[in-house]
Structure 1
Amino acid sequence: MPTAIAVTSADLVLPPTDQQTPTAALLQAPDAQPLEAALLDMNVMLERHGYVVALYPASIPAAHERRLHTIRSVLETDRLALLKLDLPPLGVAVLVRQLRQLSICDFSAGVVASAARLLSHYIYAGGLLNSVTKLDRVPVSLKSHAKSWVPGTQFGVLANPNPQLIKIGNEGNGLTGPGFSTQLLVGKGSLVSDWVTATLAPAWQVQGVQETGLPADSPRWWGTSKMIEFAAFLPDISVLYQLVASVRREQCHWCGIELIGDRCGFCSAPLPPPENRTHAVGVLNQGSP
C-alpha cells in the first residue's frame, strides 16, 4: 500500500490529476470527532498503510494542532509525520496533491515526507487582495497599509517562495514568477477582478489555468475575504519524480528513517554534517529558483 497522505480540511484535497492519484484522509478537528474515534481511525490507517504523512497549514486553530500531536503521543508511534506548512491554504492543497502523486511511486515514506520541504520551493503561492491592513504573514510597509484605506486599491502579494507585495496598476511593476514551466491554480473569493488570469498568468507564461474553490481558511490566512488566491506549480509527475529522485538519500541519525534534504520529515531532526545538505539542481529547464 502507498504511504497515506492526510489533511486537516477536506478543501485541501484537490481533484486528482489522473486515475492513479489516491485521495487524502481527513484528520478532523476536536469539535468534530472524539479523541477515541480519532485514535481508532489513525491506528487503522497506520495498520493499512504503514506510514502516514499529515500536512496542515500553520493557520489552523491551536486545538486542532494539539489534537494531531496528542494522537501521535498516545499511539506512541514514529510512523506519523506531522508537517506544519507556512504556505497559504491553496499552496498547501497543491503540495498535498503532489505528495499524493509521489506516494504511489517507488519512494519510501521518509522520502515522501521530506520531499514536502523541497517541493514547496517550487510553488509560487500568492493572492490578489483589496486590503493588506490585516495581512501579517507577508511583510507590509506603512505606505502599503496607508494605501489600503484608499477605495478601489488592490494589491498583488506573493507569499512563497519569496515574499513580495505590489500595488496593482503600477506599470512595469509585477510579481516575480517562476523561471520554469508551470500551471496556475486559481481560487476565487468575493473579489471581482480578472488581473490574475488576464495579467499575471501571461506574465508568468503559465501553460494552463485551472479554477477551484477557495479553501475555507484562506480569508483568515490573508486577513480579508475580498481576495483571489493563486498558486503556480509543477504539474508533471515525471518532473516531480525526477526532482525528488535527484537528491541524495540519507538516513536520519535520530529515528533511522530514509530522507532527502537536510531534515527528517518524521522526527524533524536535522542532518548534522553541513556537507550532507544536498539540493536538486539541473532538473528543470532553467534550473531551480
Structure 2
Amino acid sequence: MPTAIAVTSADLVLPPTDHQTPTAALLHSPDAQPLDAALADMSVLLEQHGYVIALYPSTIPLAHERRLHTVRSVLESDRIACLKLDLPPLGVAVLVRQLRQLSICDFSAGVVASAARLLSHYIYAGALLNSVTRLDRVPVSLKSHAKSWVPGSQFGVLANPNPQLIKIGSGELAGPEFRTQLLVAKGQLASEWVSSTLAPAWQVQGLEETALPVDSPRWWGTSRLVEFGAYLPDISVLYQLVSSVRREVCTWCGRELIGDRCGFCSAPLAPPENQTHTTGVLNHGAPMRQGS
C-alpha cells in the first residue's frame, strides 16, 4: 500500500490528475472530533499504509496543530510525519496532490516526506488582490500600501518561491523557467487578469479552475482575490526530479531522505558536505535548490 497522505482540511484535497492518484485522509480539528476517535483513525491509517505524512498550513489554529502532535506522541509512533507548510492555501493543496502522486511510486516514506521541501521550491503560488493593506505574509512597501487606497487598484502578488509584488499595469511577476500548469481559484474579485495576462506571460501548458480554499481570504488579507499556483503536473517529471537527488540516511531515525532535513524526525543532515545539488532535470536546466 502507498504511504498515506493526510491533510487538516478537505479543501486541500484537489481532484486527482489520473485514476491512479490516491486521495488524502482528513485529520479533523479537536472541536470536530474527540481525541479517542482521532487516535483510532490514525491507528487504522498506520495499519493500512504503514506510514502517514500529515501536511498542514502554518495558519491552522494552534489547537489543531497540537492535536496532530498529541496523536503522534500518544501512539508513540515514529511512522507519522507532521509537516508544517508556509505556502498559501492553494499552494498547499498543489503540494499535497504532488505528494499523493509520488506516494504510489517506488519511493520510501522518508523520501516522499522530505520531497515536500524540495517540491515547494517549484510551486509559484500567488494571488491577484484588490488591496494589500492587510497583507502580512509578503513584504509590502509603504508606497504599495498608499496605492492600495486608490479606487480600482489591483496587485499581483507572489508568495512563493520568491516574494514579489506589483501594481497591475506597471510591471510583471517573474514566473517559472520551466513548463507548468496553472491552477486558479476565484474569490470575490471579478477579473480575468490571471487567465488573460499572467497565463500567457508564464507560457503555462494548461489552466485548471478549482474552488477557493476556505482559509485563503484570511491568508491574503482580503476576500476580493483570485488565487493561483503554477506547478509541475507531470508525474514523470516529479519522479525524475526527486530521484535525481542523492538519497541519504537520517543519522537520528535511520530513514531515507533527500535534501538537508529528515521529513519524519526533522533532524538535519550531517555532515553538511553530504548535501548534493543537481541540474538539468527540468526544461532550461533549472537548478535544484535545497535547504531553504
Q: Which residue of 2 aligns with 1:206?
A: 204
Separation in 2, partners of 1:144, 1:62: 31
Partner amino acid for 1:118? Answer: L
Q: Which residue of 2 aligns with 1:36?
A: 36
Deviation per CA, 1:38-91, whole angstroms, max 9, x where unpaired? 010001101110000011111111111111111111111110001100000000
Deviation per CA, 1:175-206, whole angstroms, max 9, x where unpaired? 00000000000000010000000000000000
Match of 1:218 among 216, 219, 234: 216
Q: Which residue of 2 aligns with 1:233?
A: 231
Separation in 1, partners of 2:71, 2:20: 29
Displacement of 1:285 in angstroms is 1.5
Displacement of 1:224 in angstroms is 0.6
Q: TM-score, normalised by structure 1?
A: 0.98
Q: Which residue of 1 aligns with 2:155?
A: 155
Partner amino acid for 2:66? Answer: R
Deviation per CA, 1:242-274, whole angstroms, max 9, x where unpaired? 000000000000111110010000011101212
Partner amino acid for 1:194? Answer: E
Partner amino acid for 2:37? Answer: A
Residues 1:255 and 2:253 are matched in the alignment: yes
Separation in 2, partners of 1:288, 1:116: 18
Q: Secondary structure at the match of 2:43?
A: helix
Q: Which residue of 2 aligns with 1:281?
A: 279
Long gaps (5+) in structure 1: none
Q: Secondary structure at the match of 1:83?
A: strand
Q: Which residue of 2 aligns with 1:102?
A: 102
Deviation per CA, 1:95-116, whole angstroms, max 9, x where unpaired? 0000000000000000000000
Q: Secondary structure at the match of 2:284?
A: coil
Displacement of 1:279 in angstroms is 2.7
Q: How many residues are aligned here?
A: 287
Long gaps (5+) in structure 2: 288-292
Separation in 2, partners of 1:279, 1:98: 21
Q: Which residue of 2 aligns with 1:75?
A: 75
Q: TM-score, normalised by structure 2?
A: 0.97
Alignment of 1:264-275 (within 5 A): 264-275=262-273
The answer to whether the 8 A contact 1:186-1:228 is kept is yes
Q: Which residue of 2 aligns with 1:19?
A: 19
Q: Please, what is the CA RMSD of the aligned residues? A: 0.7
Deviates more, 1:147-156 or 1:244-253: 147-156
The answer to whether the 8 A contact 1:244-1:280 is kept is no
Q: Secondary structure at the match of 1:92?
A: helix
Alignment of 1:128-207 (within 5 A): 128-170=128-170, 173-207=171-205
Moved runs in structure 1, 4+ residues, more than 6 A? none
Partner amino acid for 1:279? Answer: H
Displacement of 1:287 in angstroms is 2.1
Separation in 1, partners of 2:86, 2:62: 15
Separation in 1, partners of 2:224, 2:66: 30
Partner amino acid for 2:280? Answer: G
The answer to whether the 8 A contact 1:123-1:160 is kept is yes
Q: Which residue of 2 aligns with 1:54?
A: 54
Deviates more, 1:278-287 or 1:90-99: 278-287
Separation in 2, partners of 1:288, 1:263: 22
